[in-house]
């Protein structure tokens, strides 16, 4: 039985988890990173790789996938070991270390664990449409990996949140036609995005199908030809479609994390804000999976939390060595 040994185990390879690798490396601590996805980047790469992000310091605008590429490059000098396409099934305390066992029977021991699992395991809310499985992955998709896949296609987008509106605004630049289905004329998105959507609709660049909701599908061999929608008077309308993108949010679950004896509040892990420690010694939490007073669910908050956690963990890894903190501008990373 092979047991990997390291300083820190990071559960979750999203932005916060990747930045934790860098912060740990600056303090001479090694990391192994585990993620249920078969690639790094979390939701940034899985759900919206080409979506621009505007609130990363010193980056007026950066695509989600590019942010992950930069974080991977930043962590690379510290040689993180990635264990992808597997999740942590068991976590146990041994003498001075924490051991985790994954769904692939990977066993890792470390002085500390950082849980950076975002919203936990996630999957899309699927609309209750007959025969939808026949079309999924062929002409029905729950995420956009590349805008180029939708070039010159008739795209129908269902939903009224940020994802639906953001992708409608983006895909209308490349698609032959974009139709937006929503059950009411008010959208749950940034006001500026709603204004842009209305403007493009008035210009005839986006078709608004409101107030309607999804009713059925027409097509053959997994390829859509039409999407059926219904209004509140049960009137049926057919919309020509090559692609359907239902954006009804994500179904989130903590999975085994929920049974590790950590302090939970509304399915989030409570931490002590000055250290990012959970209710269990040697186990820390950062990013969207944690909560504390005035917690902000922002990527930049996860970055700061990663730094706080790593500085506290340093004393577990090097109990006899005082930490003489240095700014990264003076310490740097050796080339």
pLDDT band at 327 (very low <50, low <70, confident <90, very high): low
pLDDT confidence of residue 265: 86
Tens of pLDDT, residues 235-293: 999 999 999 999 987 766 677 888 888 888 888 999 999 999 999 999 999 999 999 99
Give yes or no for residue 102 having a pLDDT over 70.
yes
How far apart are the C-alpha atoms of 11 and 17, rounded to whole Å? 7
Give yes or no for residue 58 having a pLDDT over 60.
yes
How far apart are the C-alpha atoms of 13 and 19, rounded to whole Å? 9
- The range of the structural domain enclosing residue 235 comes to 126-248
- At which of 193, 227, 248 does a domain end? 248
Instruction: Let me know whether 191 and 225 are in one domain.
Output: yes
Q: What is the mean pLDDT of residues 225-232?
A: 96
**CATH number for 277:** 3.50.50.60
Instruction: Let me know whether 196 and 291 are in one domain.
Output: no
**Which two tokens mark 5?**
């040994």
**Residue 219 region, left (φ>0) first, then alpha (ψ -120 to 50), else beta?**
left
Instruction: Let me know whether 132 and 229 are in one domain.
Output: yes
Instruction: Let me know whether 118 and 259 are in one domain.
Output: yes
Cis peptide before 152 (omega within 30 of 0): no
User: Which of 166, 172, 205 has its CA nearest to residue 187?
Assistant: 166
Give yes or no for residue 333 having a pLDDT over 70.
no
User: Which of 155, 168, 130 has its CA nearest to residue 51?
Assistant: 168
Inter-residue contact 302 to 116 (CB < 8 Å): yes
Instruction: Let me know whether 258 and 310 are in one domain.
Output: yes
Residues 6+ away with beta carbon under 8 Å from 291: 265, 266, 268, 269, 270, 271
From residue 281, alpha-carbon distances to 78, 92, 199, 285 in Å are 25, 12, 54, 11
Give yes or no for residue 39 having a pLDDT over 60.
yes
pTM of the predicted protein model: 0.72
pLDDT confidence of residue 237: 96
Give yes or no for residue 334 having a pLDDT over 60.
no
Q: Among 200-204, 247-251, 324-328, which range has the highest average pLDDT?
A: 200-204
How far apart are the C-alpha atoms of 101 and 265, rounded to whole Å? 25
Instruction: Let me know whether 85 and 227 are in one domain.
Output: no
Mean pLDDT of the chain, nearest integer: 92
How far apart are the C-alpha atoms of 239 and 244, rounded to whole Å? 10
Q: What is the mean pLDDT of residues 179-191?
A: 93
Instruction: Let me know whether 202 and 312 are in one domain.
Output: no
Instruction: Let me know whether 111 and 39 are in one domain.
Output: yes
CA angle 11, 97, 10 (to 5 degrees): 15
Instruction: Let me know whether 292 and 304 are in one domain.
Output: yes
Instruction: Let me know whether 196 and 111 are in one domain.
Output: no
Give yes or no for residue 10 having a pLDDT over 70.
yes
- At which of 216, 248, 280 does a domain end? 248
pLDDT confidence of residue 251: 66
Q: Coil, helix or strand for 234?
A: coil
Burial class (CB in 10 A: 0-12, 13-18, 19+), 130: exposed
Inter-residue contact 100 to 108 (CB < 8 Å): yes
Spacing of C-alpha 64 from chain mean position: 10
pLDDT confidence of residue 176: 98
Instruction: Let me know whether 147 and 188 are in one domain.
Output: yes
pLDDT confidence of residue 330: 58
CA angle 11, 16, 19 (to 5 degrees): 100
% helix, strand, coil for the chain, step of 5:
30, 30, 40
pLDDT confidence of residue 331: 60
Instruction: Let me know whether 242 and 277 are in one domain.
Output: no
Give yes or no for residue 190 having a pLDDT over 90.
no
Q: What is the mean pLDDT of residues 35-48?
A: 85
Our count of domains for the chain comes to: 2
pLDDT band at 35 (very low <50, low <70, confident <90, very high): very high
- At which of 198, 218, 248 does a domain end? 248
Residues 6+ away with beta carbon under 8 Å from 49: 41, 63, 64, 65, 68, 144, 145, 146
From residue 20, alpha-carbon distances to 3, 150, 263, 290, 335 in Å are 22, 35, 22, 15, 20
pLDDT band at 123 (very low <50, low <70, confident <90, very high): low
pLDDT confidence of residue 121: 60
Q: Strand 8-11 relative to strand 112-115: parallel, antiparallel, unpaired? A: parallel
Give yes or no for residue 66 having a pLDDT over 90.
yes
Which residues make beta-bridge pairs with 136?
140
How far apart are the C-alpha atoms of 59 and 53, rounded to whole Å? 9
């Amino acid at each position: 039985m092979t047991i990997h040994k390291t300083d820190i185990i990071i559960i979750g390879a999203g932005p916060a988890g990747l930045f934790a690798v860098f912060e740990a490396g600056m303090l001479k601590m090694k990391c192994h990173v585990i993620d249920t996805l078969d690639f790094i980047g979390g939701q940034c790469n899985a759900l919206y790789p080409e979506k621009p992000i505007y609130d990363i310091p010193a980056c007026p605008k950066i695509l989600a996938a590019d942010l992950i590429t930069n974080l991977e490059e930043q962590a690379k000098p510290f040689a993180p070991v990635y264990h992808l396409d597997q999740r942590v099934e068991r976590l146990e305390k041994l003498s001075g270390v924490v051991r985790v066992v994954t769904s692939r029977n990977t066993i890792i021991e470390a002085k500390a664990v950082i849980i950076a699992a975002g919203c936990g395991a996630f999957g899309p809310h699927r609309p209750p449409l007959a025969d939808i499985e026949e079309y999924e992955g062929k002409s029905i998709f729950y995420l956009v990996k590349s805008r180029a896949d939708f070039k010159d296609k008739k795209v129908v987008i269902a939903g009224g949140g940020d994802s639906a509106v953001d992708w409608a605004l983006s895909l209308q630049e490349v698609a032959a036609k974009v139709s937006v289905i929503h059950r009411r004329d008010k959208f749950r998105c940034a006001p500026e995005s709603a204004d842009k959507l209305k403007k493009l609709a008035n210009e005839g660049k986006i078709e608004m199908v409101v107030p309607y909701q999804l009713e059925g599908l027409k097509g053959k061999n997994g390829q859509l030809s039409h999407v059926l929608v219904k209004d509140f008077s049960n009137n049926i309308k057919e919309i020509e479609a090559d692609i359907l993108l239902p954006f009804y949010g994500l179904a989130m679950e903590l999975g085994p994390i929920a049974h590790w004896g950590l302090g939970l509040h509304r399915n989030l892990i409570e931490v002590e804000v000055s250290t990012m420690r959970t209710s269990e010694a040697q186990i820390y939490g950062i990013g969207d999976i944690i909560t504390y007073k005035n917690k902000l669910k922002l990527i930049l908050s996860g970055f700061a939390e990663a730094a706080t956690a790593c500085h506290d963990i340093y004393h577990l890894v090097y109990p006899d060595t005082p930490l003489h903190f240095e700014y990264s501008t003076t310490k740097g990373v050796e080339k």
